[in-house]
Amino acid sequence: MRTYEQLAEALAGRYRIERELGRGGMAVVFLAHDLKHSRQVAVKVLDQDLGGPALADRFFREIGIAARLTHPNILPLYDSGEAAGRLFYVTPYLEGESLRAWLERERRLKFDDAVSLACEIADALDYAHRQGVIHRDIKPDNILISDGHAIVADFGIATALAADESRLTGTGLVLGTRRYMSPEQALADKVDGRSDIYGLACVLYECLVGEPPSSTGFAILPGSPGARDLTRTLQGVKPSVPRHIVAAIERGLAPLPENRHQRAADFKRALLADPGARKGSRQLLIAAVAGAAVLIAAAVLSRSRAPAGPVHLEYLPLTNFSESATSPALSPDGRMLAFILGESTFYGPGQIYVKQLPDGEPVQLTRDDLLKLSPKFSRDGSRITYGTLGATGWETWEVPVLGGQPRLFLANAEGLTWIGGGAGPSQVLYSEMTGRDVQMRIVTSTETRASHRTVYMPPETGMAHRSYLSPDRKNVLLIEMDYYSWLPCRLVPFDGSSPGKPVGPPRSQCTDAAWSPDGKWMYFSANAGNGFHIWRQRFPEGTPEQVTSGVTEEEGIEMSANGRSFITSIGTRQSTIWVHDARGDRQITSEGHGMLPSISPDGRKLYYLVRAGGRESYISGGLWVADLESGQRQRLVPNFLMQTYDISDDGRSVVFVAADDTTRSPIWIASLDGRSAPRRLVRSDAMQAFFGAGDEVIFAAREAEKNFVFRVRTDGSELRKLMPASNLMGVSPDGQWLAVDVLTGESSDAVMIYPVAGGPPTVLCEKCGPPPSFERGPWPPRVSWSPDGRFIHLDLYQFPYAVPLSPGRAVPALSQSGLRSDAEVAALPGARRIQQEKAFAGPNPNMYAFTKVSIQRNIYRVPLK
């Protein structure tokens, strides 16, 4: 903050600064004299550097919108500007105090005073909402009391503090105050006036009880045990509170906007309603979600065609590493090869190498810990750009081919390719985060992001990662995924005029693509159910043909300049499952690709998946069980390929997610003794499912392009939506707590523990460590509990830990910001580090399962007919 003297000097001639009135979380407030109008005013100077003309323009635009509000319960805005390098705005100076000061002095208000103030605030909100203005930060600090009436201050300020709309609705930035924040605002989702109604319900609750209902802004679920606790608290502290007031507050605190009052005027009417007319209103109905299946017709393509590749010609090796070489790229003249020495064919640890073809020695160009992907040569062949994923999210870096220091080339950019552009600045094609959930779109611009425009915009849960322009510059092949899986490749027009259509093998996972030099063929690296192989399809309407086959897999593809061959990374991978116990480390599986192990509560059985198929999901496999004493193994629930699963504590049942023929992922439940057929529990497009308390199942599923957590009885009844959430990792043994991974679209996610009955979550980590590479298969959840609830297992950063829990607790005592490093996890009382990285927790800290993954790949040139 600049000094008092600097501010006074900057505003001289307009305002005479007299003294400081107070400080808040974002501003310092000064009493000043308006020299032109000879009146006392409050000058609020933002105590943060917003920097840049674009941000300042947005601030003044939003302030201008709010300044047009004229209502007796809204504090007017007189002026705004920039002084001493800070943005400021001017309001009337009101004699009186804030509601916060009143509450700090009295703690609770009289019933009539509280309801009267809430009605006046509702009037102000209703008026502002009808003008299209949302407050976003309703709290006692922003409500002034003047002559006994409520005056709402700071309309438009929260909105003005965002650089653009994506910062308000995207992942990673939450504006507002957590104690009064609606669930959608706390998740950085889109908000409307119903978010302000939530804040007002929090304020009224605090006026009556003396403290807000939540310390983080996550709602108490109506009709749940948490809601009954809210009722008891209200009526225990204020026995005279009418039932219709309790019902109004409960509805205002509903976690889903559609279950709240839809307008602030409705909230006011609920407060003023005749209690007799409201009999039974406290019980709110949460609409059950009817899981109507959406059938997606898939064209049945002939599989009888012979592979188009020259299977009798010998592949030419271009690298010969004992490790793995992936992500090949050719220089424009075809004389140099760039690649990543590392396991992952998507992103992962590794270093950029370059070699002269055919027999030059590989030269290492990078030496750092960044996760890397997709190297490409510049137009003149002098530089190599490559994507990275680090603390600042997706970026593109560049390094000279002849060696030198790598440097940042373009922020918020990944999968970059050079597409020419004539004599002017070079044009590039790349993927960037939009700020909405994990959404990534394909855009084109110059190297400096000039002439920026969108080529393809996927759904909010879609991520378009790689893109390739056709030789005639009219079409683009692109690679995309969603929460569940890589999707088929897509063909879109370069002018962005339509979303295009899927191409390549149908219902496949496509991870890379290329054009033949004449533009007549499209090539794909895709898994159509038998592993990743190279396919091709004649442009634009040909039938997909498989080019390579066999026990190896081929990922990544780069065409030669003459179109007579392509290069790709060819190799194998195997995953075996091991168990650590009192006898040490023991290998349990030796065949197939084992993954997702889980140990029974008594430590006698190991459940796991064996990879198979897999074209509808990152994870797909058959369920097996191994007896850890005898070594006998058995396939369970045949004819189903599962994406996730959870075994009941008694070992009799399994609940699992499995893709169906419509590409949806419903939830099934089955007995493990095979005496009854598996039964579809819900048709929702699900991601994870776990057994909860009693006969409940808790699951995460997508609805209208949003992710939510639901619960349902094991007989399929009482389906209820609980809360919005990005990713469900687990449920505590008593079924009362949920572990949720909040995706940010960056290299780090946030992990929260939520009570099923509603209420504020516990933050475990706000910026956890980056997830492991996809290449090593599905990793353990960041959070899980021992079956007896005595330990919580935390794998938040580099190492896993087992932390003892006090009886009745689901998490250890933590600070509000959670755990920020492995050192802080290790410092928790009784914490024990598990010596095996990425261990799947067992019934106690001395027993766990883990996988050993063997990957070996090299780069080959494959001739074409």
Q: Is the pLDDT of residue 373 over 60?
A: yes
Q: How far apart are CA 369 and CA 821, in angstroms?
A: 18
Contact present, 60 and 45 (Cβ < 8 Å): no
Mean pLDDT of 23-32: 78
Same domain as 224, residue 328: no
- Report the pLDDT value the prediction gives residue 614, as an integer from 0 to 100: 56
Give the model's confidence band at 772: pLDDT under 50 very low, under 70 low, under 90 confident, else very high: low
**Confidence grade of residue 314 (pLDDT, cut at 50, 70, 90):** low
781 occurs within a structural domain: yes
CA dist 806 to 473, 754, 794, 814, 837, Å? 64, 18, 16, 13, 26
Q: Count of CB atoms within 10 A of residue 470's CB?
A: 19
| Residues 324 and 279 reside in one and the same domain | no
pLDDT value, residue 44:
86
- Stronger pLDDT, 478 or 359, i.e. the higher one: 478
The pTM is what? 0.66
Instruction: Tell which of 413, 433, 450 closes a domain.
Output: 413
- Segment among 227-231, 531-535, 778-782 with least mean pLDDT: 227-231
> Domain check: are 262 and 335 in the same one?
no
- In terms of pLDDT, which residue wins out, 843 or 243? 843
Is residue 428, in this structure, part of any structural domain at all? no
Domain assignment present for residue 128? The answer is yes
Q: Is residue 865 part of a domain?
A: no
Do residues 77 and 183 both lie within one domain?
no
Q: Does 164 participate in catalysis according to the annotation?
A: no
Q: Which residue is it, tokens 């609020």?
A: 44
φ, ψ of residue 241 to 5 degrees: the values are -65, 120
Q: Which of the two residues, 66 and 843, has the higher pLDDT score?
A: 843
| pLDDT score for 221 | 44
Q: What is the mean pLDDT of residues 355-364?
A: 94
Q: pLDDT by residue (tens digit) across 121-134? A: 999 999 899 888 89
Confidence (pLDDT) at 235: 60
**pLDDT by residue (tens digit) across 171-195?**
333 455 677 888 888 766 788 999 9
pLDDT of residue 280: 36
Res 232 pLDDT > 60: no
- Range with the poorest average pLDDT among 27-31, 239-243, 466-470: 239-243
pLDDT at residue 604 greater than cutoff 80: yes
**In this model, does residue 470 exceed pLDDT 50?**
yes
Query: If 0-12 CB within 10 Å is exposed, 13-18 middle and 19+ buried, where does residue 387 land?
Result: buried
Same domain assignment for residues 107 and 218: yes
Q: Is residue 5 part of a domain?
A: yes
Q: Contact, 182 vs 192, CB < 8 A?
A: no
- pLDDT confidence bin for 225, thresholds 50/70/90: very low
Whether 68 and 183 map to the same domain: the answer is no
307, part of any domain: no
Domain boundary among 397, 413, 429: 413
Q: pLDDT of 298-308, one tens digit each?
A: 222 233 333 33
Q: Which residue has the higher pLDDT, 778 or 344?
A: 344
Q: What is the mean pLDDT of residues 782-804?
A: 94
Token readout for 553 is: 């897999």
Same domain, yes or no: 823 and 835: yes
CA–CA distance, 342 with 347 (Å, rounded to integer): 9
Residue with token string 């093998």: 505
Q: Is the pLDDT of residue 563 over 90?
A: yes
- pLDDT at residue number 685: 85
Q: What is the pLDDT of residue 293?
A: 26
Average per-residue pLDDT in the chain? Answer: 84
Tell me the Ramachandran region of residue 487: left when phi exceeds 0, alpha when psi lies from -120 to 50, beta otherwise. beta
CATH number, position 71: 3.30.200.20
> What strands lie across the sheet with 832-833, from one edge to the other?
783-785, 791-794, 801-804, 832-833
- Residue 555 lies inside a defined structural domain of this protein: no
Domain shared by 9 and 67, yes or no:
yes
pLDDT at 34 over 60: yes
Residue 55 clears pLDDT 90, i.e. is over it: no
767 lies in a domain?
yes
Q: Tokens for 519, please give them.
A: 């533009």
pLDDT cut 90: percent of the chain above it: 55
The whole-number pLDDT of residue 81 equals 85
727-744 burial, b at 16+ Cβ within 10 Å, e below that, comes to bbbbbbbebbbbbbbbbb
Q: How far apart are CA 227 and CA 163, in angstroms?
A: 37
Answer whether residue 581 shows pLDDT above 90. Answer: yes
Q: 582 or 618: which carries more pLDDT confidence? A: 582
Q: CATH code at 198?
A: 1.10.510.10
Q: Assess contact for 29 and 21: CB atoms under 8 A.
A: yes
Strands 565-581 and 584-587: antiparallel
* pLDDT confidence of residue 798: 86
The Cα 800–Cα 841 span in angstroms is 9
- Quick one: pLDDT at residue 116? 94
350 in the same domain as 208: no
DSSP β-bridge partners for residue 836: none
Q: How many structural domains are present in the chain?
A: 4
**Confidence at residue 588, expressed as pLDDT on a 0 to 100 scale:** 95
Q: What is the CATH number of the domain that holds 361?
A: 2.40.128.660
- Which of 68, 93, 118 is the last residue in one of the domains? 93
- Considering 137, 437, 512, 795, which one is annotated as catalytic? 137
Answer yes or no: do 114 and 214 share one domain.
Answer: yes
pLDDT, average across residues 855-865: 91
Give the closest residue to 733 by CA, choosing from 705, 706, 711, 756. Answer: 756
| Same-domain check for residues 273 and 381 | no
Q: If you average pLDDT over residues 478-488, what whole number do you get?
A: 88
Q: Which residue has the higher pLDDT, 215 or 486?
A: 486
Domain extent, residue 795, equals: 740-846
601/647 Cα distance (integer angstroms): 10
CB 7 within 8 A of CB 84: yes
Q: Are residues 130 and 88 in the same domain?
A: no
Residue indicated by tokens 């510059």: 473
